[in-house]
Structure 1
Amino acid sequence: MIRTTLVATTALGLGLAAASAQEFTLRIQNHQSPESLSGKNIAQWVDDVETMSGGRVDIEMFYSSAIVKSAETFDAAISGIVDGDFTNASYLTGKDPAFQFVSDVMGGYETPWQFYAWLYEGGGMELTQALYEEYGMYLLGWQIPGPESLNASVPLTGPEDLKDWKFRSPPGMETMIFETLGASPIVIDFTEVFTSLETGIIDGADVSNVSTNRSMGIYDLVKHTTYPGFHSMPADHFSINLNVWNGLPEDIQRIMEVAAQKNSFRTTLDYSVDIQNAVNELQGEVTFHDWSEEDRATFREGARQAWSEFATTEQAKALVDKHLEFMNEIGLVTTGAQ
């Protein structure tokens, strides 16, 4: 839904026509609130693009999924209802399970920087871009807040404590991973988490990172959490309708990509500080469980079994192989792990 306007001006007093310039208006939806750290950095991305383009680009950003439901944003961008989708590829696993492995390689990477490195240095962008282009979309980049933490009413000191642990899990691959490790994940709607914890239906919940969990009041109900997190690290994607993208001049494309990388890294930095501040403030109130390298490797091995089961298409298998290849390169899995 790109709109182009040709603007011509005349140099007063000289009678000379100035060079024409184009203006591009883009409508983009995200699922963040404008008050969140992610939402504030998205607003900064908008300002960066508009400023660096000298006003040639105008972006209408719609927060909190104001136009269509979050899970419908990608299709809305494909069909032209909006021009871009700044939500999460996990909504798209029904199209192809490959999207799981560009949104959250659960149990895989330990830091956002490793995940970014796979995308930009480990061959991930080429495979991921090909997947998006199959659906008429272009991937600008990611926004990774950081590792999430498991929250529990009982200690979670290592994989052995997962046995028979009843907790709220989102649907999909996560339930497969935790079942492999002996836990009892229960898919519960987000709105029912608090009641389920209060009544003892569950012993814990997978919600978000420490700072977000704290702001939501999770630690008013449970006093144990894993930190630093290791089981989940969602990457929200910045994606644009491919025809719209191809209709933009190269300098505008470059501006948008550079601004997206700035957004990505600043979001991760902002959350790392925010999460650490929350941890500092919760000391003495919440017990933090930092799993050993060996325990994380045990979890990763269980996760790898679920990856193989979940990767039922050629695109998904190719992405899993590329992740394992890079994880081997940086020492997260051993040679021959594939």
Structure 2
Amino acid sequence: MSNIKGPDIHDARRQAAHPEAADRTTPFREAVEGVVTARRQFLKNSVLAAGGIVGGLAGAASLGAPYVGTAKAAGTTWKIQTSWPGGVGLQIFKDWCATIEEKTGGELAFQPFGANDVVGDFQLFDAVKNGVLEAVNPFTIYVQGIIPAGVFLTSYPLGLRNPHEFDTFYYGLGGLEMARELYAAQGMYFVGPVHHDANIIHSKVPIRSVDDFRGRKMRLPGGMVAEVFQGLGAKTTVLPGSEIFPALEKGTIDVADYTGPAVNYALGFSQVTKYISMGPPGFMSLYQPVDIMDITVGMNAWNALSQQMKQFVELETRSYSLEHHAKIQKANQEAWKKFEADGTEVTRLTQDDVALMTEVAVPIWYKYANRDKPSARIFKTQLDYMMSGSLGYVTPDIVEGMELDL
């Protein structure tokens, strides 16, 4: 299992939210509908005038996305499967899907499916290319099996460290265009990233510095992440999410990385560990601070849409990313209180630890970046950003002597 992330988490009841039928008989209701219709028409005209991009996100975030009335694929329903098998992530996804039909006046609807409902997680891309599904909402790291550069389309150890930095990469530094070029070669359209959460470390012993990883039996996802912790002296092992709890309970492992607080509390990690290891204040996770998902559409389904409807789906994806991330963070705030009540202690590493881990990580970045030209090109864009005055994560002395095969 190479650097593939995605939770194998608890069973959860999967219900999509369905809006109640509207009562359209009262004058008040008719007046409200008139206002909504006028607002939608205004927004539609604004989107068309601006090319559907400038100013559209604010409207999408506050009002949903504007009604689009000229899609070629009128009355189309897309089957869309997420990598969430349950819990808060699946519910947020289903609630969002239930809004699409109303926002498009019935011209496009999303029929949501949870993980493995139609195909397995590692068959998602074949399914979307072959038309079994029109769209998918996977953990982006899954695509590395067919696109090696996918490891740089989501977070990697000590790389870009906040969601807004990945937004800058995608929407300001050409990352979206690079991703779409790679996906198009595979018969898919990369609509955009969807922010999720950080991954955090649970342990049976306190981790107060990077030295405390030495000799510890540690569950990691493999790939780049595992290589960094091996460089710090950890004895790493690869386990699916469903096996983490029993391994901690039996003492097979001392330390385990997994997803964020809300998911991990539901898995019962506070029952089998006493500590959570975080980065310095304001630095949630040292090794995977931004676990990105995305919306990907089969090229045939994408090309069947009008230009206006394509703009709608793109804007709606950006709006959904904000909503998805914020609601999971809200759930995390409740989870932290529960961990505290259970006696879990949060330990924090220092900026010196961050510097040490960065030195270990940098040669591994270059190793993965030089696997192919697209990987090198994407990584170079991110490296320049990290070395700039804006971030300064990486200094010239750290990368001295290292070369990219561009």
TM-score class, shorter? 0.7 to 0.9
The alpha carbon displacement at 1:63 in A equals 1.4
Change (3 A) 1:20 1:148: closer
Report deviation, 1:115. Answer: 2.1
Secondary structure of the 1:231 match is coil
Instruction: Tell whether 2:385 aligns with 1:334.
Output: no
Aligned to 1:250: 307
* Paired position in structure 2 for 1:261: 318
**1:267 aligned partner, one-letter code:** H
What secondary structure, in the 3-state scheme, does the structure 2 residue paired with 1:144 have? strand
Alignment of 1:96-175 (within 5 A): 96-175=147-226
Residue number in structure 2 paired with 1:6: none
Rounded Cα–Cα distance in structure 2 between residues aligned with 1:124 and 1:183: 33
- The CA deviation string for residues 149-205 of structure 1, in whole angstroms up to 9 with x for no partner, is 111111111211121221111132221121122211111233322222122221111
Counterparts of 1:1-338 in structure 2, within 5 Å, are 22-33=74-85, 36-227=87-278, 228-232=284-288, 233-283=290-340, 285-311=343-369, 312-329=371-388, 330-336=390-396
Deviation string, structure 1 residues 210-242 (Cα, Å, up to 9, x no partner): 221111101110111123222113211110012
Equivalent pair of 2:203/2:274 in contact (CA under 8 Å): yes
Indicate how the Cα distance of structure 1 residues 65 and 103 shifts in structure 2: closer, same or farther if over 3 A, else same. Answer: farther
CA drift of 1:245 comes to 1.0
Aligned partners of 1:277, 1:20: CA distance in 2, in Å? Answer: 41
The answer to which of 71-80 and 310-319 deviates more is 310-319
Deviations 1:248-302 (A, max 9, x none): 0111111111111111011111122222222233226111122223322322332
| Alignment coverage as a number of residue pairs | 319
Q: Distance in 1 between matches of 2:242 and 2:386?
A: 36
- C-alpha displacement of 1:133: 1.3
On the 8 A contact 2:183/2:189 being kept in 1, the answer is: yes
Map of 2:45 onto structure 1: none
CA distance in 2, matches of 1:271, 1:332: 29
TM-score, length-scaled by structure 2:
0.74
Give the CA deviation at 1:62. 1.5
The separation in 2 between residues aligned to 1:298 and 1:106, in whole angstroms, is 12
Output the CA distance in 1 between the equivalents of 2:386 and 2:333: 26
Residues 45 and 250 (structure 1 numbering): CA distance in 2 closer, same or farther, change over 3 Å? Answer: farther
Contact 1:85 1:240 in 2 (8 A): yes
Equivalent-residue separation in structure 2 for 1:291 and 1:219 (angstroms) = 20
Q: Contact between 2:189 and 2:298, CA under 8 Å: does it hold in 1?
A: yes
Structure 1 residue identity aligned to 2:140: A
**How far 1:332 moved relative to its partner?**
4.3
**What code does the residue aligned with 2:214 have?**
K
Moved more, 41-50 or 233-242: 41-50
| CA deviation after TM superposition for structure 1 residue 335, in Å | 4.3
Residues 122 and 161 of structure 1: is their aligned pair in 2 closer, same or farther, counting only changes over 3 Å? farther
5+ residue gaps, structure 1: 1-18
Name the amino acid aligned to 1:235.
I
**Contact conserved, 1:147 with 1:229, CA < 8 A, in 2?**
yes
- Whole-Å Cα distance in 1 between the matches of residues 103 and 358 of structure 2? 42
* Higher share in strand: 1
Change beyond 3 A, Cα 1:213–1:20: closer
Compared CA separation, residues 198 and 43, structure 1 to 2 (3 A): closer
Give the Cα separation in 2 of the matches to 1:102 and 1:88: 10
Residue 332 to residue 161, structure 1, CA distance change in 2 (3 Å)? farther
Instruction: Among all aligned residue pairs of Structure 1 and Structure 2, give the percentage whose two residues are the same amino acid.
Output: 23
Change (3 A) 1:275 1:189: same
Q: What CA distance in whole angstroms lies between the structure 1 residues aligned with 2:228 and 2:71?
A: 57
Cα 1:298–1:115 change in 2 (3 A) is farther
- The AA in structure 1 aligned to 2:189 is Y
Q: In 2, Cα distance between the equivalents of 1:78 and 1:236?
A: 18
Call closer, same or farther: CA 1:149–1:42 in 2, change over 3 Å. Answer: same
TM-score by length of 1: 0.87
CA distance in 2, matches of 1:66, 1:24: 21
- CA gap of 1:20–1:78, structure 2 versus 1, over 3 A, is closer
Q: Provide closer, same or farther for how the CA distance between residues 108 and 20 of structure 1 changes in structure 2, counting only shifts above 3 A.
A: closer
SS of 1:150's equivalent in the other structure is strand
2: CA distance, partners of 1:199 / 1:20 = 56
Say which SS state the counterpart of residue 67 (structure 1) adopts.
coil
